[in-house]
Structure 1
């Protein structure tokens, strides 16, 4: 495991908010792209970055809804991560604008959905949470400026599964939680290999666990399921005292995207506004498992993703 995968003592913690992380930070002149940046954690992330002076672009599958939600806080463009044609059209349009990118936060995602196939038959979690972001970042690579940060939103759910190399598309039996877990491991591994490829250009990548938060991410779960897990009470309010607010949940991704405390670091999995410690647990607790930050696994996943999407900015 990366020997730098240890806490650095940031001074922030579990209850820190995105606004607190960015207090005193001036992002004027910076351009940030936040997928899913108009709902849940993404909306809090967008607002915090914009309040610090960044110009934020929110690519959205439902742009009209995103514009209503943002109310002028961000620039909105159409993008469906499940559709590689849509990803290409967005990237081509952005590159044609001649602008550069300083921050990318891959925040959009799905969780525990019924078995769904997209594109050429890809399992939806793997496609939307990982492959779409792989293609997006690689297609936008010519516009990503030296010194930029790329952040992918992973989850403690990664602890439940590594990459299922024999059956990554769940063609031999579907489990919605293992599909989500594999995709979250993929998010972390993507950051590991992208950082290795980009660091010579001063471009660093991180993955983050935002914490447990009630957001639209739980749209595929019934009230009974969430109550059974101890997440909500009878009226749907949070029942678990460890749950964060959306503003607290957004803190780690803006910290990874903008904090000077991470200067010289990269390829790390972060949580609670700090670098996470290694763990061997599969109980979805704090820490990161080795399978999610292993450089060999990361390189293997990159090769698979490049083959599936046909996109690799670093292909020689």
Structure 2
């Protein structure tokens, strides 16, 4: 794919559509899905909508007790597994168990993530946002490839973000070993990595008719903001000084139920057939960033996340990192 492929389909769904409405009328009964981070925020709403449509959903969780408690309210076939995206051994163990237990996997939704956290290391020393948001999901997806490859029409959705606009991949220092750590640059790099991952994965699923996409879910208040102070969120324009939601956030932010809609659209929409690897937002394919628009910071996709060569370069680097883990 290329930036020229970022052409909206005119899906007909407004940006603030509830996720359940996006999949209404689509036959998902009997499908099997894995949703990372599926026990809080938009992940929980993604699971709720899928289970309501007859999908069996498996939620890998770092905190099983919390996951089971949060998912107890979901009426349907939802199961919890043990996995920590920052622990590659646990990711491999979970993926191996799924390959042994399942005959197919229709949907893999790589939803979990961390944002703008203090500098930390995971795995063999990876910067934590790149290591968790990208490498953890890379390891999971690679481990599940035997299922994805044999399931006709399987789809993988990687949650990226408009944060990708903050940074391309820092090819010479991905792990911030020599560069001063900046939590937003690290987050931006990780979200760019998520989009490039979907680009490269789409080619690897093609033979079996599978597809992969990346999505920006929109601005939503969820536990993702847990590392941000009140002062930071006031400065960003999200909150007022008393902690209440700002007028800007009221206009632009979505509810968690609305925040899962682009994920579910990418996971199910027939309009995306033949459009592998595209980046989506607001229940449609995103347009290229218009640098002249005052909204360019908040919407649109940068050309560097649609670059096939960059996607393949990151895939090779990720394979090497995983082999060394």
Q: Helix, strand or coil for the counterpart of 2:115?
A: coil
Moved over 4 A (4+): 280-283
Partners of 1:187 and 1:2 lie apart in 2 by 16
Say which of 184, 188, 201 aligns to 1:181: 188
Q: 1:214, CA displacement in angstroms?
A: 0.6
Q: Helix, strand or coil for the counterpart of 1:147?
A: coil
1:296 maps to 2:309: yes
Q: 1:94, CA displacement in angstroms?
A: 1.1
Change in Cα spacing, 1:237 to 1:20, as seen in structure 2 (3 Å) is: farther
Q: 1:260, CA displacement in angstroms?
A: 1.4
Say which of 158, 161, 164 aligns to 1:155: 161
Partners of 2:3 and 2:206 lie apart in 1 by 15
Deviation string for 1:176-201 (max 9, x for gaps)? 00000000000000000000121121
Say which of 198, 204, 208 aligns to 1:197: 204
Q: Helix, strand or coil for the counterpart of 1:232?
A: coil
Say which of 108, 112, 116 aligns to 2:116: 112
Say which of 274, 291, 309 aligns to 2:322: 309
Contiguous gaps of at least 5 residues in structure 1: 312-316
Q: 1:2, CA displacement in angstroms?
A: 4.0
- Tell me what 2:31 maps to: 30
- Tell me what 2:284 maps to: 274
Conservation of the 8 A alpha-carbon contact between 1:159 and 1:283 = no
Partners of 1:194 and 1:244 lie apart in 2 by 29
Q: 1:262, CA displacement in angstroms?
A: 1.3
Conservation of the 8 A alpha-carbon contact between 2:215 and 2:281 = yes
Q: Helix, strand or coil for the counterpart of 1:236?
A: coil
Contiguous gaps of at least 5 residues in structure 2: none
Conservation of the 8 A alpha-carbon contact between 2:3 and 2:288 = no
Partners of 1:211 and 1:149 lie apart in 2 by 21
1:126 maps to 2:107: no
Conservation of the 8 A alpha-carbon contact between 1:34 and 1:104 = yes
Partners of 2:275 and 2:256 lie apart in 1 by 26
TM-score (normalizing by structure 1): 0.95
Conservation of the 8 A alpha-carbon contact between 2:155 and 2:210 = yes
Conservation of the 8 A alpha-carbon contact between 1:280 and 1:289 = no
Conservation of the 8 A alpha-carbon contact between 1:193 and 1:298 = yes
Conservation of the 8 A alpha-carbon contact between 1:205 and 1:266 = yes
Q: Helix, strand or coil for the counterpart of 1:115?
A: coil
- Tell me what 1:265 maps to: 275
Partners of 1:237 and 1:22 lie apart in 2 by 32
Partners of 1:277 and 1:225 lie apart in 2 by 29
Conservation of the 8 A alpha-carbon contact between 2:290 and 2:296 = no
Q: 1:223, CA displacement in angstroms?
A: 1.1
- Tell me what 1:314 maps to: none
Kindly tell me the number of residue pairs found equivalent between the two proteins: 311
Partners of 1:207 and 1:141 lie apart in 2 by 18
- Tell me what 2:176 maps to: 170
Partners of 2:49 and 2:244 lie apart in 1 by 25
Deviation string for 1:141-189 (max 9, x for gaps)? 1111120110000000001110000100011210000000000000000
Conservation of the 8 A alpha-carbon contact between 1:13 and 1:274 = no
Say which of 248, 251, 258 aligns to 2:261: 251
Q: 1:283, CA displacement in angstroms?
A: 5.3
TM-score (normalizing by structure 2): 0.93
Partners of 2:270 and 2:107 lie apart in 1 by 14
